[in-house]
Amino acid sequence: MARSGVQTRERLLDAAQGLIFDHGFSATSVDRVIERAGVTKGAFFHHFKTKAELGRAVIQRHAERETAYCDRLLARAERLAGDPLQQVLIFVGLLLEDYEDLRNPVPGCLFASYLYQRLEYPEEVARMTARTLAYWRDAVARKLRQAAAAHPPKAEISPEDLADTLLAVIEGSYVLSKAKSDPAVMLRQLRHYRSHLALLYGMDPGQATRTAPGPRREPPGRAS
């Protein structure tokens, strides 16, 4: 695909993603996507045969970005520390870094925008969402199992459930942030989660590693 074609496709995906955040998938029409993207109807149908095809492409791109984002954060955490407990604490700290510059409530989670309208899109989208969330859960749970081997936890835990708690904190914070018009909700909840991990594994929360500032990366859950 020529570069101009790639750029047009990305503009359509960006426009659709923003409209889905603003209005939901069912209210996102092809005409509104074309208007926001600033392209012709012919250009739209050159890239996507239907709205459903566009919707699948939006969620697939989001899923790919989410898994890549998880990999980048874990890789950086592993470079910064050798101890698995420190690595998972750094991982949460990196999430904090990426949300610290928010000034307005984040628009929400793209996955949730689809899941709340389950009948409006193919089951394939639900499977992509489930796979992506499982990818995050498994990656964090794997690190938590390594941490437990080096630092026996103070209470019986399930690494998978503890990893799911992180996902619940992030997803729930989107809702609270929007409802309360308070972008700091996610920061506070992520700090609580990190302190909980430190205490659970026998570390003083005040000693939990604080990562050095690095290049800002826009959290993938945010709209373009």
- Alpha carbon separation from 95 to 72, 80, 153 (Å, rounded): 11, 15, 23
Neighbours of 28 (CB within 10 A): 25
Query: What are the residue ranges of CATH 1.10.10.60 in the chain?
Result: 1-49
**Torsion angle (degrees, nearest 10) of CA 67, 175, 177, 87:** -30
Q: Could you tell me which residue, 123 or 166, shows the higher pLDDT? A: 166
Q: Is the pLDDT of residue 216 over 50?
A: no
CA-atom Rg of the chain in angstroms: 19
* pLDDT class of 224 with cuts at 50, 70, 90: very low
Q: What is the pLDDT of residue 113?
A: 74
pLDDT average, residue stretch 50-59: 91
pLDDT average, residue stretch 22-41: 92
Q: Is the pLDDT of residue 212 over 50?
A: no
Q: DSSP letters along 74-95, please? A: HHHHHHH-SSHHHHHHHHHHHH
The whole-model pTM stands at 0.85
How many degrees, rounded to 5, is the angle at CA 92 between CA 112 and CA 197? 105
Sheet strands (E) in the chain? none
Per DSSP, 213 falls in state: P
Per DSSP, 72 falls in state: H
Query: What are the residue ranges of CATH 1.10.357.10 in the chain?
Result: 60-207
Q: Is the pLDDT of residue 78 over 50?
A: yes
Q: What is the pLDDT of residue 103?
A: 57
Residue that is written with structure tokens 């499982």 in the block = 134
Q: Is the pLDDT of residue 221 over 60?
A: no
* pLDDT class of 2 with cuts at 50, 70, 90: low
How is domain 60-207 classified at the CATH fold level?
Tetracycline Repressor; domain 2 (1.10.357)
The structural architecture, per CATH, of the domain 1-49 is: Orthogonal Bundle (1.10)
Q: Over pLDDT 90: what percentage of the chain?
A: 60
Q: Could you tell me which residue, 46 or 119, shows the higher pLDDT? A: 46
Q: Is the pLDDT of residue 215 over 90?
A: no
